[in-house]
Amino acid sequence: MEREHVVKSVKPGSIAQELEIGAGDKLLSIDNTKIEDIFDYQFLIQDDYIEVLVEKPDGEQWLLEIDKEPDEDLGIEFENGLMDEYRHCHNHCIFCFIDQMPEGMRETLYFKDDDSRLSFLQGNYVTLTNMTEHDIDRICRYHLSPINISFQTMNPELRCRMLNNRFAGEALKKVDRLYEAGIVMNGQIVLCKGVNDGEELEFSIKKLMRYLPNLESVSVVPVGLSKFRDGLYPLEPFTKEDAGEVLRMIHRYQTECFEKYGTHFIHASDEWYILAEEELPEQERYDGYLQLENGVGMIRLLLEEFQDALDRTKQDAAKAAGARRTVSVATGYLAYPYISDMCRRVMEQYADIDIRVYAIRNDFFGERITVSGLLTGQDIRDQLKGQELGGGLLLPQNVLRSGENVFLDDLTVADLEETLQVQIYIVKSSGYDFLNSILEATQRGREKV
């Protein structure tokens, strides 16, 4: 079915507004070429002269001749940001977290995407099993980079079993085409104990190194196991000893890759270091933090930014005076030791600030889930009810649905504020924002007195 590309809005002062393109108009073609999706659109508007055919709500068609700067945007936002249907994942991966979610949550949380276009636009990881030769051709023609790929293993037979898809092994050949076309890639391996770890992981690392430098980085993350696993593949959690073995292998290949290629290439997510009770690597080992979305270097970057912010405020701290003000911080068990230490350093520098840090146990998904991004509003509410929260409660931004003030379980920030009787401050992911939020919350507390 041919998709209609309906304009949702236009940016003020844009080319689209100047040409009287408006909400409800339909984009029919650019340079007499029909638009399949957002990639066609972005590619075709790059020229300095284009002809755009739009249809007004009354059916009248306008052919607009546009002279503009190369790569200048038209300023159009479409009702469907992808300008096409989102592609659903057809795999049944043994490690899929969506399969481990309880019934009764909002419908969007159960959607499994496996769309290469979202990989380019939003950084999503794709398995390649949904990509046709036409998709590969377009990626190569438009030179869309980077593409993020969920490898899991480079053993084709094992990959078929892990993804429960008989074509999953064959799909790995598409990496060769992307590599030959010079497409930049990043990779991910979700490690499952007794399945793709040990010798299988080593085999995969060696295979993936052949795609350097176009394959810029590969992250290794432990499988997340919720308590809702009835009827699913029997996976076990990794132990401290397991984590140590994984890190030793990764560090060995980091050394080899850095000596040969000047990059560490293969990276362990923060969970491995915390589980193994080992120090996090220095920031130089993260090669510019290419895998933050997979929790690789997230804590190190947070600590570095925070310390820089704290150093910059030393003079302000020396001038600060007044009654002692209390604020609270809630986080997951994974980051709790680091957040606690950061708050201790704030209190050492600011004598009039008291910070109470609470580690929230994940009762909703199970105690094995320790990241803050999977905390629910009800767990935060139930565990903080009756606690001394002071003049404000700081929560990390990743506990909320993107762009909204809603938790995973549909509780809102306003709901939580009403129940806990405290103002909530949502903290962005950087260490600068963390310190600024503490200072803002304590300053507002002073102003109310």
- Residue 442's pLDDT is 86
Contact status, residue 376 vs residue 313, Cβ threshold 8 Å:
no
Nearest alpha-carbon partner for 225 in 275, 266, 187, 186: 275
- Residue 114's pLDDT is 52
Q: Is 190 helix (H, G, I), strand (E, B) or coil?
A: strand
- How confident is the model over 405-441, as pLDDT tens digits? 999 899 999 999 999 999 999 998 899 999 999 999 8
Residues of the chain with CATH 2.30.42.10: 5-78
- Residue 308's pLDDT is 95
Residue 403 burial (CB count, 10 A): 6
Q: Which class is domain 98-294?
A: alpha beta
Q: Assess whether pLDDT exceeds 80 at residue 1.
A: no
Q: What is the rounded average pLDDT for all residues in the chain?
A: 89
Residues of the chain with CATH 3.80.30: 98-294
Q: Which of 121-125, 131-135, 249-253, 269-273 has the lowest mean pLDDT?
A: 121-125
Going by the DSSP 8-state scheme, the letter that residue 154 receives in this structure is: S
- Residue 89's pLDDT is 72
- How confident is the model over 54-91, as pLDDT tens digits? 999 999 999 999 999 987 889 999 887 766 666 667 78
Q: Specify the CATH superfamily of domain 5-78.
A: PDZ domain (2.30.42.10)
User: Which of 67-81, 116-130, 163-177, 306-320 ranks highest by mean pLDDT?
Assistant: 163-177
Q: In CATH terms, is domain 302-448 a member of 1.20.58?
A: no
Q: How many CA atoms lie within 13 A of 270 on its CB side?
A: 24
Contact status, residue 75 vs residue 10, Cβ threshold 8 Å:
yes
DSSP H helices in 364-430: 377-384, 413-420
For 176, the enclosing helix (H) or strand (E) is helix 173-180
Residue 340 — very low, low, confident or very high, per pLDDT cuts 50/70/90? Answer: very high
Contact status, residue 345 vs residue 355, Cβ threshold 8 Å:
no
- Residue 447's pLDDT is 43
Residues of the chain with CATH 3.40.50: 302-448
